[in-house]
A and B are shown apart, each in its own frame.
Chain A
Amino acid sequence: MEESKKLAAAQAGKRSANKILQWLDSGGRNQVQQALQEAIKQMEERNKAREIDPDFLDRRVTY
């Protein structure tokens, strides 16, 4: 990436960060946390499907 583009992107990043900090302070933090709770639920469902039946591990692999 060219230096001028890098600089412009970095400035955009800083601007966005400052706007987001303000937004988080004005109630955005709760919104993100609520959304994350939904993500956690979905993840827990996946983790349930990852649980191994211990009896399975005592079955012979014979084919």
Chain B
Amino acid sequence: MGAATASDPAFEVSVYSESVLETQLCNRDVSAELIAKKRQVAFLKEYLKHIDARTVIVEHRYIDRDFMEDFAAYYVRCFANYERKCKRLHFFSTTFTDAQFSKLIATGLGELSVAELQEHYLGFIAVKPLPDTVIGRTCLGTYPLERGRHYDILRHYDANLFGIPLRVKTLAFQEQDRVVAACASSALWTAFHGTSQKFSHRLLSPAEITTAAGAKASDVDRNLPSKGLTWNMMADAIRHVGLEPLYLQPADDDDLKATIYGYVHGGVPAMLGFFLHDPADGPEAWERQAHAVTVGGYRINGDKPVKDKLQFSLYAYRIDRLFVHDDQVGPFARMHFDGKACRVSESGKEVDRRSLGTIYDQNNLGLVRAIYTVVLLPLYHKIRIPYSLVHDTVFNFTFGFLKMLQLSQTDQTEVGRFSDLEWDIYLTTANDFKEELAKSTAIESDRKFRYLTRSLPRFLWRAKALVNNVLALDLLFDATDIEQGNLFSLVVEYDPYLAAFMPVVLGEKKNEALFDETPARRIVDWYIEAAKQ
């Protein structure tokens, strides 16, 4: 054990095991029995096994900023005496002893090096000194980026362990304490970790989020202890940090996948609302179990285009899992698209509701269902155009384009090729788009030069058309425009057939009315304007 004093050590180093984790999560108010029953603990055990945790350093007296804010906002004024310092557990995928680590701190020498610790650092869990809800700020590295896993909302977290700088790339998680924060505050707290660097705003503690959310809510009773937030209160918390809330209700599973992907792939965390339905609770309990989580990733499964019921194909439809920070489960917890409807009782009638599978019941995955409702997005104020408008524009354009090819029977080879057209639609920035375009070898240098030197808005919706997984066309929409504006910024044709075809057909003035009364009119207008230049 590392000294501060022999009886009160500053740290201890242990070989990682599930029982060590359970022991270290206990405190004077929380028994090992209670810890062992927690769903979050079961999840973390599994998670740490997957990321190959081998050694744990327990930092005994850690001051966690988030907990300190919560402590100051509530716990310090309780009659009962709560601790203000946390423990912090640091995990490593290498083995070393207490003596080796102590020698490294004291001398900088020995068998263990700073570089080895940094290379094998897996992240940390801050353990709160509270009854029951002990899992504080948790920053653990993600599962490996394989098997189609994507984590788009990651940032660096730095930890300094007795002078050793450590860093992990992840998205912070913590469980609600049910006092200063319920699930909605926890979901917002995670989402703000995803937006604070990207959109430059201050990070709030859970207590500060709950207080900000309730500041304008005159029709609800006291903020603290928190009884949960309404969606409108969550929107107020988003405004409080200088962002704009956007609610979306997905029409179906495909729409949910596409909406989430559109924003999350663009680096914007999405909060997903749902009702939890556990068949064991009966068919009516679900409406009392409203929950919110934050989506930080997804899994792309398969390499073939998937079509929706309108025969439209989006890359996002290949998603079969979401990875969510669910304060009742853990970080990057899986939610499954399994296409199963959920039969529940609503106003006395049996109805089938759209739902996702959850891992709430570890012994029966997918049994407890998430009946999803709304998606709430914390957006930079300049991102004004919603995903749905871009989707509808691209959908109409594709429909018209394919109809032209099919009905005219001009070229059956191309009809066949483009019938598998797949769109990849997501939010991006002009800089990211240009960086990718600069690397492209698919277009001639004079066009590339023209596009790279063209002034573009900071935020763009990018619709990439893929034919047999090869980029054929880029449609770029100005995400900062107004909905009734033209909002179409640029077309880049990579496919030589399309590069010859599109300007001739769509740049023809007589075809101006072809897409009239559809959002795709904007694309035709752009070509007609380009033909004039």
Task: Digitize B405-419: 1 where CB-to-A-CB distance is under 8 Å, 0 elsewhere.
Answer: 101101100100000
Contact check: which of A23, A35, A36, A63 meets B289 at CB < 8 Å? A63
Bound: A23/B89 CA distance, A: 71
Residue B16 lies at the interface, judged by CB distance under 8 Å to chain A? no
Residue B184 lies at the interface, judged by CB distance under 8 Å to chain A? yes
| A21 with B251: CB separation less than 8 A | no
Contact check: which of A6, A10, A51, A57 meets B232 at CB < 8 Å? A57
| A52 with B403: CB separation less than 8 A | no
Residue B516 lies at the interface, judged by CB distance under 8 Å to chain A? yes
Bound: A32/B403 CA distance, A: 6
Q: Which B-chain residue is minimally distant from A62 (CB atoms)?
A: B228
- B227 smallest CB distance to A (angstroms): 6
- A28 smallest CB distance to B (angstroms): 6
The residues in A between 37 and 51 inclusive whose CB is less than 8 angstroms from any CB of B are 39-40, 42-43, 46-47, 49-51
Tally of A interface residues using CB under 8 Å: 44
- Determine the chain B residues whose CB is within 8 A of the CB of A25 once the complex forms: 510
| A60 with B228: CB separation less than 8 A | yes
Residue B24 lies at the interface, judged by CB distance under 8 Å to chain A? no
| A13 with B514: CB separation less than 8 A | no
| B231 with A1: CB separation less than 8 A | no
Bound: A6/B184 CA distance, A: 53
Bound: A52/B249 CA distance, A: 6
Bound: A19/B513 CA distance, A: 19
The residues in A between 1 and 37 inclusive whose CB is less than 8 angstroms from any CB of B are 1, 6-7, 9-21, 23-25, 28-29, 31-33, 35-36
Closest 10 CB pairs of A and B: A13-B500, A62-B228, A17-B504, A49-B251, A63-B291, A13-B501, A13-B497, A9-B496, A23-B408, A57-B231
Which residues of B approach A to under 8 Å, CB–CB? 182-184, 227-232, 234-235, 247-252, 255, 273, 276, 289-292, 310, 328, 373-374, 388, 392, 395-396, 399-400, 403-405, 407-408, 410-411, 414, 442, 495-502, 504-505, 508, 510-511, 513-518
